[in-house]
Amino acid sequence: MSRPLHRGVPAIRVTSSSNGLLDSQVKEQIEKEELDRNQSSHRFPFWSLFSDNSPLTKYDATDNGFASDPFIVGTPRSRHRLTILLLKSSLVVIVILALTGSFWWTLSISTSSIGHIFHSSRRLQEQLVSDLWDIGELSFGTSRMKEIEFCPGELENYIPCFNVSENLDSGFSDGNEYDRVCRQGSRQNCLVLPPMNYKIPLRWPTGRDIIWVANVKITGQEVFTSGSLTKRMMMLEEEQISFRSASLMFDGVEDYSHQIAEMIGLRNESNFIQAGIRTILDIGCGYGSFGAHLFSEQILTICIANYESSGSQVQLTLERGLPAMIGSFSSKQLPHPSLSFDLLHCARCGIDWDKNDGSFLIEVDRVLRPGGYFVWTSPLINVQSSLRNKEKQKRWNFVRDFAENLCWELMSQQDETVVWKKTSKKTCYNSRISGSGPSICSKVQDVEFPYYRPLQNCIGGMHSRRWVPIEERATWPSRSNLNPSELALYGLHLDELNEDTANYRIIVRNYWSLLSPLIFSDHPKRPGDEDPSPPYNMLRNVLDMNARYGGLNAALLEARKSVWVMNVVPTTGPKYLPLILDRGYFGVLHDWCEAFPTYPRTYDMVHAEGLLSLESSQHWRCTMLDIFTEIDRMLRPEGWIIIRDAALLIDSARVLTRRLKWEARVIEIESNNDERLLICQKPFFKRQPS
């Protein structure tokens, strides 16, 4: 169990003693009346001070924390009931008179101190209302504030929308049974518990090379029988899986990366940045070791792999603190805009690129930037092997010819690896022999923001104004600061981006000052950790649920925090995902009324600014509780949730945190009285032996 949240964070509300006294008197009077009648009665939230004592169900709250209509006329009551009502009404009158007097007194003071006193008066008013709310909630007990139960043990790695058995029953086959299908009722209204022997991951960078075997669903047998190069790198040692950086197998990944750089025409992988390569999509990444190696070169590599019921590549990669999400080329487009990545990599990724009439290769072309690279490593490419096997030769010939018809240039072929370069010139497509390759998508087909749409058989991205070769873009880190002409594509001015960046600098500094005392007072040093050095990397995997321009990501990197951010742009919000990707960050389109494509316990911190307001403007297509249970599923034990939103929504969210067993605190934002900050921590609940 984690420590209480109050340590290191100033208290936000202190209950007034006078209010407590009044409430105590009312309570004693009620108890006396009840003893006279020999029967019990309920106490209600503060709104019941204005109404009769109607049945309890009339006042219940909805799942998203908003109360139903309390102003329901009740039936005539006895003299005792009337007395209670008069006492309650008297309390309200006293409160109103006190607040009114405070208001007129504020008007009478000098202008030099009016702002400060008005702010204090406002806080007292909000404190009183909030305290009355708390009294009402406690009076309902378990009937209203019942905590959500824990899920059964078999759901410890459960991911909604990925149900292989249901897909098979629905007729899916040929690998499509592993597709993402969000059916009605796929959510589980319970909290996912960690495995029996789960341990808090080690801090980065130690956690990149050593993970706890109990934290992931994989066995030692699966480690040693794996045929993948990156999987064979794992060494099982007692309770840990070690990715030994000094091993010969790690040198194999380093040599492999060096080979790819030479095939592109570079001296080594440290020149990727100069060649315009910043973001890499690693398809079927093994366990992320290719990306882990390139991280030191400031290359951002995101792993995508199919859903796996056991031995998950995505789960283990995230456990190492490396970017990953579940993604599939089997039947649907990825939830990324066209022209998103500088390089796509597939090393024995298990995809048959010659199948499905080349539509998988068309999807690679869609998300690849002009001038970007596709690197494929497969035994199918081995010339000597293909010559001895006619079937292999036929398959290789199909891929090679199809790539040429996509206007890809064959850069180099060595052993089992081949590198293609996507054309930078649109004129290439018009110079092809008629009927020799896939056609160009029409404007109707060429959707900028596909959200799991069926794969297309035409070339996409041609109508995008973002068609800019990678070698003509600014290199990293200058790429993160888009120029005015680039911002104009999104209807933005440079001042707007600069203001957003400046705001998030302050926000990140405040977040870190809030979290640092809490984390280091609870865990000054975990077993196996070295002493943390500046910038005190307390977090590694960060999920931003409403990323807008990627300002949180930019501020964290500018502050030299060793984190990576999954920037999520909601399908219901402004479509700034291409801007985030063009800045050199990673991002994805997502509908938060559906489950995010990741395994449980994969993020250290979840951040949401304005998301609740966005969803409320859509008339709550799903409840606030649905969104929060999904956050709980994705968050690691002892992980953090930071929500910034309108004051009313934050108050409603705070009520729900109790049902989720989160330790929560509301922080008032001095610069904006209309918004508040809700900071929560997910406790570490250990599974009890059955």
Banded pLDDT at 264 (limits 50, 70, 90):
very high
User: 259 pLDDT exceeds 70?
Assistant: yes
- 495 or 33, which is more confident: 495
Of the given ranges (20-24, 44-48, 119-123, 452-456), which has the lowest mean pLDDT?
Answer: 44-48
Token duo for residue 321: 């603190």
Token duo for residue 666: 């509301």
Residue pair 517/494 in contact (Cβ under 8 Å)? The answer is no
- 129 or 391, which is more confident: 391
Q: How many CB atoms lie within 10 A of CB 533?
A: 7
User: 169 pLDDT exceeds 80?
Assistant: no
Residue pair 471/422 in contact (Cβ under 8 Å)? The answer is no
Find the helix or strand (DSSP H, E) in which 503 lies.
helix 494-522
Q: How many CB atoms lie within 10 A of CB 311?
A: 18
pTM value is 0.78
Greatest alpha-carbon pair distance for the chain in Å reads 100
Share of the chain above pLDDT 70, in %: 70
- 36 or 482, which is more confident: 482
Backbone angles phi, psi at 415, to 5 degrees: 50, -115
User: 299 pLDDT exceeds 80?
Assistant: yes
The Cα–Cα gap between 676 and 672 comes to: 8
> What pLDDT does 229 receive?
45
Residue 56's identity, in one-letter code, is L
Task: Tell me if residue 662 falls in helix, strand or coil.
Answer: coil
pLDDT in tens, 55-84: 333 333 343 333 333 333 344 445 556 666
Share of the chain above pLDDT 90, in %: 54
> What pLDDT does 333 receive?
95
Radius of gyration of the chain (CA): 29
Q: List the Cα angle 353/356/362 in 5-degree steps.
A: 60
User: 115 pLDDT exceeds 50?
Assistant: no
Token duo for residue 327: 């993604």
Average pLDDT over residues 617-629: 93
User: 275 pLDDT exceeds 50?
Assistant: yes
Average pLDDT over residues 90-113: 56
User: 90 pLDDT exceeds 80?
Assistant: no
Highest mean pLDDT: which of 10-14, 257-261, 616-620?
A: 257-261
> What pLDDT does 670 receive?
81
Of the given ranges (228-237, 294-303, 608-617), which has the lowest mean pLDDT?
Answer: 228-237
User: 651 pLDDT exceeds 70?
Assistant: yes
Domains along the sequence of the chain with CATH: 249-472 (3.40.50.150), 478-682 (3.40.50.150)
Average pLDDT over residues 337-363: 95
Q: How many CB atoms lie within 10 A of CB 588?
A: 23
Residue pair 18/26 in contact (Cβ under 8 Å)? The answer is no
What DSSP letter does each residue of 333-356 carry, written as one string? --SS-SS-EEEEEEES-S--TTSG
User: 251 pLDDT exceeds 80?
Assistant: no
The Cα–Cα gap between 208 and 228 comes to: 19
Closest to 193 (Cα-Cα) out of 635, 680, 597? 635
> What pLDDT does 78 receive?
53
pLDDT in tens, 525-540: 454 555 454 444 578 9
The Cα–Cα gap between 643 and 164 comes to: 34
pLDDT in tens, 342-353: 999 999 998 999
pLDDT mean across residues, the chain: 79
- Give CA separation, 57 vs 62, 143, 144, 403, 470, in Å: 11, 9, 9, 65, 61
> What pLDDT does 96 receive?
72
> What residues form DSSP beta bridges with 680?
641, 664
The Cα–Cα gap between 116 and 566 comes to: 40
The Cα–Cα gap between 336 and 589 comes to: 6
Backbone angles phi, psi at 282, to 5 degrees: -100, 110
Average pLDDT over residues 638-664: 95
> What pLDDT does 3 receive?
43
Banded pLDDT at 103 (limits 50, 70, 90):
low
User: 100 pLDDT exceeds 70?
Assistant: no
Residue 317's identity, in one-letter code, is T
The Cα–Cα gap between 150 and 155 comes to: 10
Banded pLDDT at 434 (limits 50, 70, 90):
confident
Helices 494-522 and 551-558 pack at an angle, to 10 degrees, of 60
User: 428 pLDDT exceeds 90?
Assistant: yes
Closest to 586 (Cα-Cα) out of 286, 233, 291, 201? 291
- Strand-by-strand arrangement of the 603-609 sheet: 587-590, 564-570, 541-544, 603-609, 635-646, 675-681, 663-668
Of the given ranges (71-80, 86-95, 211-220, 650-659), which has the lowest mean pLDDT?
Answer: 71-80
- 688 or 484, which is more confident: 484
Average pLDDT over residues 504-516: 90
Give the distance from CA 675 to its chain's centroid: 22
- Give CA separation, 624 vs 429, 574, 598, 605, 655, in Å: 48, 20, 20, 18, 11
Closest to 239 (Cα-Cα) out of 525, 527, 2? 527
The Cα–Cα gap between 426 and 356 comes to: 25
pLDDT in tens, 538-551: 789 999 999 999 99
Find the helix or strand (DSSP H, E) in which 19 lies.
helix 17-37
> What pLDDT does 6 receive?
40
> What pLDDT does 485 receive?
92
> What pLDDT does 372 receive?
98
Banded pLDDT at 466 (limits 50, 70, 90):
very high
Alpha helices (H) along 389-461:
390-405, 427-430
Residue pair 1/683 in contact (Cβ under 8 Å)? The answer is yes
Banded pLDDT at 465 (limits 50, 70, 90):
very high
Look-up of token digits 């933005």: 492
> What residues form DSSP beta bridges with 679?
642, 665
